[in-house]
Structure 1
Amino acid sequence: MSDATTALDAGVLTLTFRRAAQHNALTWDMYAALVDACERADADDEVRALVVRGDGGRAFVAGTDIGQFAAFTSGADGVAYEKRVTEVLDRIRAVQVPTVSAVEGYCVGGGLGIACATDLRIATPGSRFGVPIARTLGNCLSARTLDLLVESLGRALTADLLLTARFLETDEARRVPGFLHAVVDDLDAGLAELTPRLTGGAPLTIWATKELLRGRADGPDRDDSAVVERVYGSADFRAAVAAFGDRRPPTWTGN
């Protein structure tokens, strides 16, 4: 079986990492599979949400497989590696449909980066989040990845996790505003409750929300007119206004 598989069901594309014996530590091929899933999510009109999860029950992703670093011979290799990771995380953030990380067990290093790059996160009790590189590999994160963690966790907690190399337990993580959508005993049940709300929403509203949230770094004076015009000029908007007046549910087409 491949180290990463995808399945589409009821509008939800699920990417599952399948290296359970290695705590789903990522190889380059697994990073590539993640990018491929993002590409499919944007290209396939049947996909209305993307879920990322890990197989085995012990880990979502336990970072990059350390074996991938064996060929490094200079600091330039580290620069290239961090650039590659940043490109993957940016690709996740650019996906036009809602994205969810379903976390069970360890969510470490690159795994935490992936989780922070998705729109929502659900986790089981006992899951652990962290980047303990100060006591393991002695490497560092890129500024872009660090910014992503700060955006999701806040500056103080990000510094805490990196400087002390400790893990964030689920009970503490659930108290971080906005970090966890839900803590669930069963991931499948949690996803079954969450994903219909994501796939059932107005596609253009979801697209616009994600597009404008990504653009926050451009500042409050950024030009949002093209996004707003596309939504308000859509057939979906006109049909929904009519449906509301007729007291019937709207039918979304994404047009």
Structure 2
Amino acid sequence: MVAPIPSPFNSDSPISEDLTRKILQRTQNISTTCSEELRLPYRHSPWKKPAFFGACLVAITGLFGGAIYLVGAPDPSQEIIAQWPATPAGGLALVGNEDIAKLRQSGWTCPDLHALGFKLDQAQGAVLDGSPTLKLKLSDGGNSVTVYERHSTSSGSTAPMNPLTGHPASQDGFQPLGGGKVWLQPGPTWQAVLASGDTSYLMVSNMPPSSLKPATAALTSGPTSNSTLAVTGPSNDLSSRLMRGLARILAME
């Protein structure tokens, strides 16, 4: 009896090398068993031999299908994002620590700036023009930082997108710093926009300007997603999950 294949969501990585090795090993065992049985009296029967071969094929397909089905499970963040209202009419939805952890597993950064002495006071989520956006309020007892993290398609501009407006930062009055990776709007409460892949960030803070570089660097040090997160979750039917799982398995080669 084939032991149950562990869910890939019980580990930190999407799928482990150990899971792949077990799948290949069990497939080889099934193939060996089929070959041995075909050398028995079945070889003299024109009906039993194809029937047994078909049974072996079903067993192998079932083994891979079970693994692919588990690997291709929907992104856990989609259930969370589905609860977020569309702004401005819907306001913002509170996001708890458990949901923050799930978002991070799905590729969101959700920066807490803990290394800079900050702690998370509040997290909220909303959908801005079809793009899921997270708002994080942080403080260190004296200074405050608000970070917006938005996942969407590229703005089509060399300047990063302002997560609040959906405009290129240059259109909203931001000026590039250095190589143009960070765009700044100076003032007593300064604002900085930067992007990593299809994720854009807006940081609003009253910290001293000297804190700008380490603070913005912390935004891109965590996991980020390189694929657009749709507001509606992926199809959960068997065919869709098998295709997603197969794509992930092939990506490991």
Greater relative contact order structure (CA < 8 Å, 6+ sep) = 2
Q: Which of the two has higher C-alpha Rg?
A: 2
TM-score when normalising by structure 2: 0.26
TM-score when normalising by structure 1: 0.26
More helix by share: 1
